Structure 1
């Protein structure tokens, strides 16, 4: 009962910002901003939702692009695809279909962190439905560190369903907001971000479970996807902070730059894991470069 009350408060305080459409029997929440320009899809990372981008980056890009921001399956207001953890390929296919239903045509796909893995899966499995990629602190390579106790417990077949309701019931939204400092380090969250992101949405039972299962499955999925990176022939702009300790530059971005012929890597000196907020001019410039390289706009035309 306490968990249900917490979820109800979160949903009342942070309702959907866009439209909820039905795609293949699944409800998908998407926000559309901007009236003209090339289409750009924004895909958020683990534990997040579309509000990560609607805080500031999406409105900024909407000055020159038509921007589509989605909640990934199981997070925000998009339904879970299954109860075993939607794969990055399943997520890419669902969001690709959702974008097409909302009118996007061969968009630029931008993904941050886990969302970067979904963007790469989109480029590999739906190459005719993407014009270019922009990858921000993207997970792209196998790694050797363990899953960690948090995701191990929450994704466990028996322990997860027992522990998650306790977290929903008793963990306060303010605790999640405090964790943002670690995610943004060595920078800090921008003003108003903590109030906008909707921490209570992340603490809902279904979202905690879906996120943990997706995270637990990611290593095996990336290991498989990595074998097909050479097939990616479209323009790729990759931005990665040199101070990112969540998704390491040397582990992920640098090998990817060698594996994808059209990948141009920009190293962001001193930047951590959240360049969409703390290096926003550089991110916007990368989207512009991707549009120009894809032939969506002539060089120098966009603001």
Structure 2
């Protein structure tokens, strides 16, 4: 009986690990690296670097993605609408996308901020506007504190920067554990995670509509690879203690700052994080958009770009643009709520 049970367990482990390895290769074949790896001192960071065009009217822009993401997320949102306007650097954070994890300090936003600064040096970018979405907001804040000479401005998009009540989801805690985490990520994450990609990506946009091509453009499945998921879990698990210790220091930030957030963000609560940043960073402008969820980079891309222009010294009334975006969001919501002629016929028949 014991021998049979042991045989069954071993068979399951071998099968599950083999399936995860197979799907990891398949995911990487579906979403190959679109960036370039650069050694920044013992390990390599991956990034897409678009050199400064002759027509540029903005400073260099450095984009830092959020948890469970990779550089494709911000690249798909901003590369095309900003084409010809700036030098741009879209970074895979350490241990995400195709970047190597590097040293132990890269499990914290401060270490990742330093890694981005070293990559900028390697790419010849002396200073830039730093744009951080969600978890990337904590890294952007750390960058502004640790590398003020490289910071021309800070743009926070639905940032995660302050302590919050409660902890994190159980699967992050489990995945970050030394031995059980390895088993969990190598045996269960891919088969379970692949079933949640659709609902998970819909939820980060809610209450707004997710673009139909969002998954194919941004490759969220890359985070399901076992080591990447463990890196992501460690980042998330470490964040609460980190921001609890460092949020009181945000007053040290002197760079021009804009914060764009939605009042309907269920992923990162704007009343804790965005309002906290606006309170803590002297002179920061808070732009709160009604009925906007967690993705201002996609839903209100125009407002985000106007904020970059504002940080570059160009006259932009972000509050007026936010009000216009609210009207647009309301119109889209009404359109999606209206039943089609077919459904009306079915309902009234």
Q: Shorter-chain TM-score: what band?
A: over 0.9
SS at match of 1:131: strand
**1:26 — aligned with what?**
43
TM-score (ref. length: structure 1): 0.92
Q: CA deviation at 1:145?
A: 1.7
Cα distance in structure 2, aligned partners of 1:286 and 1:84:
31
The Cα offsets for residues 137-162 of structure 1, whole Å up to 9 and x where unpaired, read as 11111111222212122122332111
Q: CA deviation at 1:84?
A: 8.0
**1:295 — aligned with what?**
none
SS at match of 2:115: helix
Q: Going by fraction, where is helix more abundant, 1 or 2?
A: 2
**2:336 — aligned with what?**
none
Structure 2 unaligned residues grouped into runs of 5+: 1-17, 317-349
Cα distance in structure 2, aligned partners of 1:6 and 1:277:
29
Please point out which of 231, 234, 237 is paired with 1:213: 234
**1:156 — aligned with what?**
177
Please point out which of 274, 298, 301 is paired with 1:280: 301
Cα distance in structure 1, aligned partners of 2:69 and 2:264:
21
Counterpart contact for 1:184–1:274, Cα < 8 Å: yes
Please point out which of 29, 40, 57 is paired with 1:12: 29
**1:42 — aligned with what?**
63
SS at match of 1:77: coil
Cα distance in structure 2, aligned partners of 1:211 and 1:82:
15
Counterpart contact for 1:6–1:168, Cα < 8 Å: no
The reply to whether residue 252 of structure 1 matches residue 273 of structure 2 is yes
The reply to whether residue 72 of structure 1 matches residue 93 of structure 2 is yes
**Which has the higher Rg, Structure 1 or Structure 2?**
2
Q: Give the total of aligned pairs.
A: 295
Please point out which of 99, 117, 125 is paired with 2:146: 125
Q: What RMSD over aligned residues (CA atoms) do the two structures have, in Å?
A: 1.7
Counterpart contact for 2:127–2:149, Cα < 8 Å: yes
The reply to whether residue 81 of structure 1 matches residue 102 of structure 2 is yes
Structure 1 unaligned residues grouped into runs of 5+: 293-297
Cα distance in structure 2, aligned partners of 1:110 and 1:228:
19
Please point out which of 209, 216, 224 is paired with 1:188: 209
Cα distance in structure 2, aligned partners of 1:82 and 1:97:
14
Q: Which has the higher contact order (CA 8 A, sep 6+)?
A: 1
